[in-house]
Amino acid sequence: MYALALENQKELVDAIRKAALLNAVQHDGKAQAGPIVGKILGERAELRPKAKEVTALINTVLGEVNGLTVEAQRQIVEEKWPETLKKQKVEEEKRLPPLPNASKYEKIVTRFSPNPDCVLHLGSARAIVLSHEYAKLYKGKFILRFEDTDPKVKRPSLMFYDKIREDLKWLDCEPDEEYIQSDRLPVYYEYAEKLLSGGYAYVCTCVPDEFRKLTLESKPCPCRSLPPEEHLERWQRMLNGGYTEGQAVVRVKTDLGHPNPAVRDWPALRIIDTVKYPHPRVGSKYRVWPLYNMAAGLDDHLLGITHIIRGKEHLTNGVRQEFMYRHLGWEYPEAIHYGRLKITGAFLSKSKIIQGVKDGSYSGFDDPRLATFAALRRRGITTEAIKKMIVDVGPKTADVTLSWETLYSYNRKLLDLVTNRYFFVADPVRLDVVSVPKVFHAELPLHPDHDDRGKRKYTVAPKDEDGLVSVLIAKQDAESLEAGVMVRLMELFNIKVTGKADCGLQAVFVSEPYQDARDAKARLIQWILAKENVPCKVVMPDASLTEGVAESACKKLKADAVVQFERFGFVRVDSTVPELTVYYAHK
Ligand SMILES: [Zn+2]
């Protein structure tokens, strides 16, 4: 069968078959020839002169392997080389593309650097999750850096430092180190002086409009060519109050002919009247504050960041900062710029979130209408779902648009495996069933795949000689039930509606077997014993309230539990006193 005359042919065929099977289970049952040829010839230099024959042999074996079903391939691999499947699983989880030039660095260091002027929301998820995941992947370091150097316009607020720390903790992205830029002003001053005395920066006292005009024409302002001594003197005046806000700014020299005017001699430090706008942490201690590119640019180097993972809106900032790096003789870190991640319908404007919370149009930063992590947490959206979604999107540069439904489907997959099931009926309507012939014992599994979790058990006993059983069903179900139509009360029995009245519905017992309901294509609806239930309020994603009753097993639920209300949706228990209140996640 095999034409190749080789020694140890059997051993070679076995090796090829193993490689082919492993490759096949990774490629939906169809092994690819290329990697197998590469592997076999790579491991066996002596075969390379016979590459043509070896390739023919590989193709023959490949034909056999690819002729098997995926299940058969997998079974062979599981039996013979179970360890390879485990390895494959681990690799599947590490699906992020490798970092550029990772081997150049002894330790990979990434950072997430929020301004503590608001809580975090889904818009930050990509920066956080990717930076943290990469640090973890390379056994590196993940740094949290608070960028709080604008006490006036993007004013930080004390409570947000802690809220951001909490959010990262919840996301399971806790930093290895934390820095706060408002602690580091002396560092920025030191480098400002270095740049000024080296002639790489200057204190510009021009009226902003005039400076802009000159810059657009690629012309230097009169300050630019003054000697460093003059600038150091002006710098002292900035520090000691000789200038007021807006009168002087330190600019880093770039290329005045740079095609992008926004890059030309960018502002690095400015004066802020901190008597009028005290910083929440350091008050009026400093009046000269670094701007974004100065502080972030210096810190990325000084804190040893090897890979900056950020949105592509920062591309120009990178260009600006590279000038400063050159002045200081530093090498710019690797920068990965990902595209915009738009989430349709998610509300991400920081200023509007803060305004809405302040004026009471939102109940708080965890109002269910918001896309803040606090709100997602409250609704039972899991960190795993957020992370998985972000990792799947990865750091690609193309813009990506996701919807709430995308996030929900990630979350649903995870929750479906673990959440217990319960009955809840919204806007309950009474349903009286007559002619129930005996006492029924309804046994409802907490989870269809986990018998060990046990069952919710209800005794359904007819009350009088009419065999009357009263249950509550959801208004929506009640409205759609027509007289004469059979329905099944889930895991209980089949009934037929006989009439509707103001106070509820009447029905008559039909039969017990589930098969009858199947044959009649009867609808299955959830029910709750009229005399055994728990009032329950559901806070919906639009902040409206749905009221109803849950089955009495829900009395045992504890705050923070996430459960599935069957045919209604996944909910997170928010509180149990004074009454059961849950937040709705999604269908
Ligand atoms: Zn000037």
Mean pLDDT of 345-358: 91
Q: How far is the CA of 357 from the centre of ligand 1 (A)?
A: 42
- In the reported structure, the alpha carbon of residue 212 is separated from the centroid of ligand 1 by a whole-number distance in angstroms of 10
Residue 440 pairs in a beta bridge with 460
pLDDT at 88 > cutoff 60: no
What is residue 221's predicted lDDT score, i.e. its pLDDT? 97
The contacts of residue 16 (CB under 8 Å, 6+ apart) are 36, 40, 57, 58, 61
Q: How far apart are CA 212 and CA 209, in angstroms?
A: 5
Q: How far is the CA of 233 from the centre of ligand 1 (A)?
A: 15
Ligand 1 centroid to Cα of residue 43, in Å, is: 66
pLDDT at position 346? 84
Assign 3-class secondary structure to 402-463.
EEHHHHHHHHHHHHHHHCCEECEEECEEEEEEECCCCCEEEEEECCCCCHHHCEEEEEECCC
Using the predicted structure, report yes or no on whether residue 94 has a pLDDT greater than 80.
Answer: no
Q: Give 360 Cα–ligand 1 centroid separation in angstroms.
A: 46
Residue 563 has pLDDT above 70, yes or no: yes
Partnered with residue 388 across adjacent β-strands are none
Centroid of ligand 1 to alpha carbon of 502 (angstroms)? 81
Query: Which residues fall within 8 angstroms of residue 516, CB to CB, at 6 or more apart?
Result: 486, 494, 510, 522
pLDDT tens per residue, range 28-61: 788 888 889 888 888 888 888 888 888 999 999 9
**Ligand 1 center from residue 222 Cα (angstroms):** 5
240-264 pLDDT tens trace: 999 999 999 999 999 999 999 999 9
- List strand residue ranges (DSSP E) for 216-339, in order: 249-252, 267-271, 288-290, 307-311, 334-338
Distance 83 CA to ligand 1 centre (A): 68
Q: Any idea of the CA torsion for 205, 206, 212, 216, to the nearest 10 degrees? A: -100
Q: Which residue do the tokens 């009028």 mark?
A: 276
Separation of CA 243 and ligand 1 centre (Å)? 14
DSSP state of 181: G
Mean pLDDT in the chain? Answer: 94
CA of 186 to the centre of ligand 1 (A): 24
What is the residue type of 538? Answer: V
The count of C-alpha atoms lying within 13 angstroms of the C-alpha of 465, restricted to the half-sphere facing its C-beta, is 0
Question: What's the gap in Å between 156 CA and the centre of ligand 1?
Answer: 30
pLDDT at residue 328, rounded to an integer: 98
pLDDT for the residue 93:
54
| Cα 175 to middle of ligand 1, angstroms | 41
H helix or E strand, kind and range, residue 159: helix 158-170
How remote is the CA of residue 318 from the centroid of ligand 1, in Å? 24
Residue 401: phi, psi to the nearest 5?
A: -115, 120
- Nearest residue to 455 (alpha-carbon basis) of 490, 424, 494, 420: 420
User: Torsion angle, CA of 204/207/209/215, rounded to 10 degrees?
Assistant: -30
Question: So what's the pLDDT on residue 29?
Answer: 83
Give the pLDDT band of residue 11 (cuts 50, 70, 90): confident
Asked if the model's pLDDT at residue 368 lies above 90, the reply is yes
- pLDDT tens profile 567-580: 999 999 999 999 99
Query: Which pLDDT value is given to residue 16?
Result: 93
Read off the pLDDT of residues 97-153 as tens digits, 9 standing for 90 and up: 999 999 999 999 999 999 999 999 999 999 999 999 999 999 999 999 999 999 999
pLDDT at 89 over 70: no
CA of 2 to the centre of ligand 1 (A): 82
State yes or no: pLDDT of 90 exceeds 60: no
CA angle 149, 152, 158 (to 5 degrees): 65
Tell me how far the alpha carbon of residue 202 lies from the centroid of ligand 1, in angstroms.
8
Whether 148 contacts 164, CB under 8 Å: no
C-beta separation of 508 from 498 below 8 A: yes
Structure tokens at 408: 């929900």
Q: Model pTM greater than 0.85? A: no
pLDDT at 457: 96
Per-residue confidence (pLDDT) for residue 62, from 0 to 100: 92
pLDDT digits (tens, 9 = 90+) for 299-331: 999 999 999 999 999 999 999 999 999 999 999
Task: Work out the pLDDT band at 1, boundaries 50, 70, 90.
Answer: very low
Q: Give distance in angstroms: CA of 317 to centre of ligand 1.
A: 21
Give the pLDDT mean for 259-276.
97
pLDDT digits (tens, 9 = 90+) for 459-486: 999 988 899 999 999 999 999 998 999 9
